[in-house]
């Protein structure tokens, strides 16, 4: 009897071995992406105050260490003139002082104008006028003036006595002119004194106004010093 020959391959003494599944390669973590570092622009507004890292807000190194995290607004001290221009209290005081001085000056101008009217009326009533050579001239013929009435009355008196050609008549005319000139001098000096007094008052008012303005300025500068924390 012939021997059956089975396949040589595939013979096993035990159960068939299961195939081992293929192992996938372990994924490698992606390389981290480098974030760009912020750059800071230097300014030339500050000076050096010590060693360390550059300042964020201008100037050279300022003391070492990392820049402050406080990125708030920086307080800028205004110049004296800029502060005064924006100080409401100071500007209001200046406006009030200017109005006060303007009102006073307007009152003085009114007084001067009224005084000139009185002066012109008084000299006209007296019969005075200034001649081309600057000498006093009297209106002998106008009976509406004091000089005209006095001259006519004096002339009529001497004429009635037939003394118009006498030395006494000539002396009376000289005395009349002297009396009239004394009256004019009194009117003129009074007018001059009045205007001089007004000039003095205006000068005093201006000086007081200037002093008040300077005091208001000093107070405003003190407020600026207190607000921004420095001495005057």
Strands (E), 78-215: 128-130, 136-138
Report the 10 Å Cβ neighbour count for 167: 8
Contact status, residue 145 vs residue 127, Cβ threshold 8 Å: yes
Structure tokens at 133: 């050579």
**Alpha-carbon distances, residue 47 vs 42, 43, 52, 73, 74 (angstroms):** 12, 10, 13, 20, 17
Per-residue confidence in pLDDT tens, the chain, 232 aa: 444 434 443 444 444 444 444 444 454 544 544 544 444 334 343 444 444 444 333 444 444 444 444 545 566 889 989 998 998 999 999 999 999 999 999 999 999 999 999 999 999 999 999 887 888 899 999 999 999 999 999 999 999 999 999 999 999 999 999 999 999 999 999 999 999 999 999 999 999 999 999 999 999 999 999 988 875 5
Burial of 87 (0-12, 13-18, 19+ CB in 10 A): buried
Cα–Cα dist 90/220, whole Å: 6
pLDDT at 231: 59
pLDDT at 28: 53
Report the 10 Å Cβ neighbour count for 150: 19
pLDDT at 73: 53
Cα–Cα dist 194/199, whole Å: 9
């Amino acid at each position: 009897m012939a021997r059956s020959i089975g396949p040589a391959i595939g013979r096993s003494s035990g159960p068939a071995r299961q195939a081992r599944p293929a192992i996938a390669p372990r994924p490698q973590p992606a390389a981290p992406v480098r974030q760009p570092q912020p750059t800071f622009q230097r300014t030339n507004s500050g000076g050096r105050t010590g060693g360390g890292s550059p300042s964020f807000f201008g100037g050279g190194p300022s003391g070492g260490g990392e820049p402050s995290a406080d990125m708030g607004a920086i307080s800028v001290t205004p110049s004296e003139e800029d502060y005064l221009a924006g100080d409401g209290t100071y500007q209001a005081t200046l406006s009030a002082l200017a109005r006060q001085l303007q009102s006073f000056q307007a009152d003085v101008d009114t007084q001067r104008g009224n005084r000139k009217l009185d002066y012109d009326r008084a000299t006209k009533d007296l019969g005075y006028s200034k001649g081309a050579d600057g000498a006093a001239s009297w209106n002998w013929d106008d009976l509406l003036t004091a000089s005209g009435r006095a001259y006519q009355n004096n002339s009529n008196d001497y004429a009635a006595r037939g003394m118009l050609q006498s030395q006494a008549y000539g002396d009376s005319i000289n005395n009349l002119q002297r009396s009239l000139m004394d009256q004019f001098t009194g009117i003129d000096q009074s007018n001059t004194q009045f205007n001089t007094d007004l000039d003095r008052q205006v000068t005093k008012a201006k000086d007081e106004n200037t002093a008040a303005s300077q005091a208001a300025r000093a107070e405003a500068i003190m407020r600026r010093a207190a607000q921004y924390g420095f001495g005057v």
